[in-house]
Chains A and B, each alone.
Chain A
Amino acid sequence: MDSPALFDQLIILLRTTSDVASVLLVLQEFIDSFYSSKTHEEQQQIFKKLSPQISILLTEAFAKEPITPENQITIKRQIDDLSDTLQKCKKMIMTLAFQPDEETTTFFSEWIKKNVSKDLLLDFQFDKSIVGGAVIIVGGVYKDYSVKKQLSNKFQIQKEEIMGLLD
C-alpha cells in the first residue's frame, strides 16, 4: 500500500495529537524490530498496542509478509513517509475547563473531521480558570469562546454603565 492511501485511511481513525504520538511510537518500535531477533509474529504483536482498527490497518500495510533484507528498506521508507506526513498534520488546540472523556473526544473529532477538515487533529488542554466553553487555536488564529471571557465582557459593560451614571 502506498503511503498517501494509507494516510487517508489512517487519518480518519486518528482523533488527537496524542493518538498520532502513539502511532509514531509504535511505528518506530516496528522499525527497531528489523534489527533485533524478533520473529514475524512478535513484530505483528507490536501493532496490537494500538486500537483494533488502526492495528489491523497497519498490520495489513507493513507486517502482512515477514520482514526480509530485500523488503525492509522499502517498508522503512514507507513508514518514514507516513511518519513525516502525520507530523505535518495541522492541529487544533482546544482548551477546555474539564478533562474530556472518550465520548467527548470522539464527538469533537467527528464533528471537526466532518465540518472543518479531515486532516485536523485535536490537541486538548485543560484549564479550569476558563470556567466553561472553549479556547480554540488553529493555524495561529486564536478564538476565545470561554465563559470567563463572556463574563469578563459582561462585567466590563456593567462597569462602564455604572461609571457613566456616576459621571
Chain B
Amino acid sequence: MKQFQQYLTISEEIGFVEACNQSIVHANGLPNATLQEIVMFENGELGVILSMGREEVEILLLSKSSVKAGMKVTRTGSKQEMPVGFELLGKAVNPFGQALNTGQSIDKPKISRPIDISPSGINTRKRIEQSFETGVTLVDLLIPLGKGQRELVIGDRKTGKTSFLYQTILKQATMGTICIYAGIGKKTTDIKKMETFFHNAGIDNNTVIIATSSEDPAGVIFLTPYAAMTLAEYFRDEGHDVLVVMDDLFTHAKFYREIMLIGRRFPGRNAYPADIFYTHARLLERAGNFVLANGSEHSITCLPVVESVEGDIAGFIQTNLMSMTDGHIYFDVDMFAKGNRPAINPFVSVSRVGRQTQSQLRLTINRELISFLTLHNKIESFSHFSAEAGAGVKRTLAVADRIFAYFTQGANEVKNLDLQIVIFCLLWADYWQDNTKMEKDIATITQTHKNSIEAQSLVKDLVSHANSLNELLATVRKQQDKILSVFGLQVVNVTNI
C-alpha cells in the first residue's frame, strides 16, 4: 500500500476532516472524489466514500483507530477491491485479501476485482438444471437444491445450522466445488474452528474463508459478503462451480443499520435503513447459474444464513431474505429439543428450484415421503391413544419412527445420496422391523459401501436404472439375495408396503 504522500502527489487532491462520529467521517475538499472510492487519511488509515454533498464528503472508516478533526485525507483513485486468485484457496482472509491473524502467509494475488458490482443480466443466466447435493439425506430427498440456487438457512441459535453448513461444504468440496465461507462479524474462535475443520477434513484446496470478527470496524464487516461474492465470481469465470455460504445476513443487516444510523439516514422499519432490501437483494442476485463467454455453464450457489428469534420466522430481515431467495431450510427449535438431528422442519422448509433438477426416481421418492409424512403429521395426535389405535395407525407411526431414525445424521457426517436411496428402498419395503437393528444394519451398509467397489457399483447400477420408486422396489425384490449378500445382511422376505 502506497503512503499518504504518494497518493497525494498522484491525485493532487486533499481534504480536511471536519467532523468524526464513530465510523462516519465528514471531510471537506476532495473535489473530484467518486462514490465507493477508497480514501487514505494522513495516519495511513483507509476509508470509503459513502456519499457526497456540495462541499463535503461522507466517509465510512475501514479501521478502528481514531481519526481527528483537521486531519488530512486524500483520494487513492481506486474503488473497493478484493484481490482474487487461486492463491487464496485454503486460506482465511479478511475482505481485503489479507490473512487473518492465524499465522498464515499468503502470496498476494495479482488480480483484483471491484467488490460492489451490479449483478449480471438475464442474458448471462440459464435455467438451473443440475442437482446440488448437501450430503444431508433429509435435505437431498425432501428439500432438494439445484446448482445456482439461493437457499436461505434459517433457525434459532444452536439448532444445528452451522453443522448443516459444515456438512454441505464438506460434501461439495469433496465433489470439486469451490466453497467460500463468509463469516460476518463472527467470533475469532469460530473462524479458527472452521479453519481447523476444513484442514482436518482435507478440503483445504477447495475452500476459502473470508471472515471478519465482531471486533472489526463496522465498515469492514459490512463488506464481508460482497468480498465473498466477488471471489466466487472470479472462480466461476475461471470455470468452477462455486458455493458461497453467508453466515449470517442478520448480523450483516445489524451492522448496516448501525452505519446508516450513525450516518443520520432516516430509519425505517425496526430502524433499518430504507434500502436494506436492495442491499441484500443486489448481493444475492449475483448468485445463479451462468453461461460464460466461452459457452460453458457454471454456477454460484448461495446459502445465506439468517437467525430467527424464539422461532419467529416472520421478522423483517427474515421475510425480506425469504422473498429474495429460492426457498428456505428451517431449523426448528422444537424438533431440536425432541432430539431430531438435523432439526429441519420439512413442512415449513421450501425449495422453489431444486425439484426441477431431480431425476424421476428422486421425484417419486420425494412425493411418497412428503405425502407419508403429511399423513403421519395428521395422525400423530392419535399416538397418545396407541393402545386403542388401529393396526393401520400403529403401522404408520412405526414406519414414521423408522424414517426419522433413518434421517438422523451426526454432525459433520455426509452421506452418499445413491446409497441413501437404496437404504430408503429397503426401509420402505419393510426390511427392518425395529430401529436398533436398522441403525446397526445401516452402519454396516455404509461401511461396506465405503470399502467395497462391488457395493458401490451395485448401488450405482440400481439407482441409475430405476425411473421410479416402484421400479426400484421391484428391482430390489428381484435382486434381494444379491444386494443383501453384497452388504453382508441377513436374508428376509422383502415386501412392498
Contact = CB atoms under 8 A, between A and B. Distances in A.
The residue in A140, A143, A149 that gathers the most chain B C-beta atoms within 10 A of its C-beta is A140
A137 interface: yes
A117 to B, nearest CB: 16
B28 A140 contact: yes
Contacts of B30: 140
B31 interface: yes
A35 interface: no
A137 B9 contact: no
A141 B9 contact: no
Interface string B367-391: 0000000000000000000000000
Interface in B1-39: 8-9, 11-15, 28-31
A141 B31 contact: yes
A142 B31 contact: no
Interface in A124-158: 137, 139-144, 149
Contacts, number: 25
Contacts of A139: 29, 31
B326 to A, nearest CB: 47
Nearest to A149: B9
Interface residues on B, range: 10 to 19
A149 B31 CA distance: 23
B13 A140 contact: yes
Nearest to A143: B12
The residue in B8, B11, B14, B15 that gathers the most chain A C-beta atoms within 10 A of its C-beta is B14
A144 to B, nearest CB: 7
Interface residues of A, number: 8
Contacts of B29: 137, 139-140
Contacts of B15: 140
A141 B12 CA distance: 6
Nearest to A140: B29
B53 to A, nearest CB: 13
A151 B445 CA distance: 80
Nearest to A137: B14
A142 B15 CA distance: 9
A139 B55 CA distance: 9
A66 to B, nearest CB: 40
Interface in B78-112: none
A46 to B, nearest CB: 30
A149 B10 CA distance: 12
A149 B30 CA distance: 21
Interface in A76-107: none
B9 A140 contact: no
Contacts of A141: 12-14, 31
A141 B16 CA distance: 12
Nearest to B74: A142
A54 to B, nearest CB: 27
Nearest to A139: B31
Interface in B161-209: none
A110 B285 CA distance: 59
Interface in A14-67: none
Contacts of A143: 12
A8 to B, nearest CB: 22
B31 A140 contact: yes
A148 to B, nearest CB: 11
A78 B327 CA distance: 66
Contacts of A137: 14, 29
A139 B28 CA distance: 9
B70 to A, nearest CB: 12
A142 B28 contact: no
Contacts of A140: 13-15, 28-31
Contacts of B8: 142
Nearest to B33: A140
Contacts of B11: 142
A141 B15 CA distance: 8
Contacts of B12: 141-144
B407 to A, nearest CB: 64
A155 to B, nearest CB: 14
The residue in A141, A144, A149 that gathers the most chain B C-beta atoms within 10 A of its C-beta is A141
A95 to B, nearest CB: 11
B31 A144 contact: no
Contacts of B74: 142
11 contacts: A139-B31, A140-B15, A141-B12, A141-B13, A141-B14, A141-B31, A142-B12, A142-B13, A142-B74, A143-B12, A149-B9
Interface of A: 137, 139-144, 149
3 closest A-B pairs by beta carbon, nearest first, are A140-B29, A142-B14, A140-B31
Given A141-B31, A142-B13, A144-B9, 11 more contacts: A137-B14, A139-B31, A140-B13, A140-B14, A140-B29, A141-B13, A141-B14, A142-B11, A142-B12, A143-B12, A144-B12
